[in-house]
Amino acid sequence: MAVTRGLISEEELDSQVESEVIDEARDLVSNLELRVQQVKNGILNPKEAAKILSQESANLRMKARAVNLVGFGPLTHRLDEYLNEIDAVGAQHADDLIAFADRISAVLDGEKVDLDKVAAVLRELPQQKTFNVEDVTIMDKDVTLVLPQRSAARVVGRELAACGYRVSAVLNPIEALELILETKPDLVITAQVMPRMSGVDLACALASMPATKSIPVALLTSLDPDHAELKALPMNVGLIRRGSQFGDDLADVLQRFNIT
């Protein structure tokens, strides 16, 4: 006589898969803490630790995309950015990384983060400085760069960071949409030419959604303002031209949107 097996519901299956992903993410965070402790104890070379942690951070970001935990994605994104800026784990880096691990662990362990509080949580995280802190006044303003080229993102990001802004860069415009929805930055600067979605497309998408329509957007482009590709650009979007006008245009955009 055949035995009828109990069927698992879609909700139960989703819950099981999410639980497994969260457990795997916890393991990665535990590994991060272990690597940091190994560096402190002189067991792991600081440069080797930076490489390993960068790889594990990338894996953690992949886990964040597989589950629906508010704040988890932005937290792992900031950790990834932090690690990309260092080539060796020093004493201050070790303390900063433990702070990241503690915050991510809290979310994985069930701490609820309201969607409108994600930005505040991110502002409490350590930030890797690429400038002399004594020469810069840190401002309570976040700028998200949506630029497909890492080199361009670093150039623009470091200029903004040197002016005191907190900067986060995203290479993929589709991923950027989700990040912007959660983090609500004070300004988005996007390139015009990107894979799958142009800067104009992204600006139009942000302008059309109630949750993001009030977020200032600026387009980084080498096109003339009257170019046909820019005709669909919302009227309130700023323009930053590449080349010799970049510095002046960036300053104008920051002043125009009152984030100086």
pLDDT confidence of residue 139: 75
Nearest to 186 by CA among 240, 114, 257: 257
Rounded average pLDDT over 161-167: 88
Q: Does 116 lie in the same domain as 138? A: no
Is residue 2 assigned to a domain?
no
Is residue 228 assigned to a domain?
yes
Q: Does 150 lie in the same domain as 107? A: no
Is residue 197 assigned to a domain?
yes
Q: Does 173 lie in the same domain as 191? A: yes
Q: Does 242 lie in the same domain as 139? A: yes
Q: Mind listing the pLDDT tens digit for each residue in 218-244?
A: 999 999 989 999 999 999 999 999 988
Nearest to 69 by CA among 182, 211, 166: 182
pLDDT confidence of residue 169: 94
Q: Does 250 lie in the same domain as 143? A: yes
Q: Does 222 lie in the same domain as 245? A: yes
Q: Mind listing the pLDDT tens digit for each residue in 182-213?
A: 999 999 999 999 998 999 999 999 999 999 99
Final residue in a domain of this structure, among 123, 153, 181: 123
pLDDT confidence of residue 129: 63
Residue 62 in this model has a pLDDT that exceeds 90: yes
Number of domains the chain is built from:
2
pLDDT confidence of residue 162: 85
| Cα separation, 168 vs 6, whole angstroms | 47
Non-local CB neighbours of 47 within 8 Å, separated by 6+ positions:
87, 88
Q: Does 147 lie in the same domain as 104? A: no
Q: Is 240 helix (H, G, I), strand (E, B) or coil?
A: strand
Is residue 4 assigned to a domain?
no
Binned at pLDDT 50, 70 and 90, residue 260 comes out as confident
Which residue range is the domain that position 139 belongs to? 133-256
Final residue in a domain of this structure, among 91, 123, 155: 123
Lowest-pLDDT choice from 129-133, 169-173, 204-208, 211-215: 129-133
Q: Mind listing the pLDDT tens digit for each residue in 246-259?
A: 999 999 999 999 98
Q: Mind listing the pLDDT tens digit for each residue in 64-103?
A: 999 989 999 999 999 999 998 899 999 999 999 999 999 9
Q: Does 142 lie in the same domain as 103? A: no
pLDDT confidence of residue 190: 97
pLDDT confidence of residue 232: 94
Is residue 243 assigned to a domain?
yes
Final residue in a domain of this structure, among 88, 123, 158: 123
Measuring CA to CA, how many Å separate 237 from each of 22, 163, 180, 190, 218? 39, 22, 16, 10, 5
CATH number, domain containing residue 159? 3.40.50.2300
pLDDT confidence of residue 136: 55
Is residue 128 assigned to a domain?
no
Model confidence, pTM: 0.84
CATH number, domain containing residue 18? 1.20.120
Q: Does 152 lie in the same domain as 89? A: no
Is residue 148 assigned to a domain?
yes
Q: Does 139 lie in the same domain as 88? A: no
Q: Does 177 lie in the same domain as 72? A: no
Is residue 1 assigned to a domain?
no
Q: Does 144 lie in the same domain as 47? A: no
| Cα separation, 27 vs 37, whole angstroms | 15
Measuring CA to CA, how many Å separate 22 from each of 65, 147, 193? 11, 30, 35
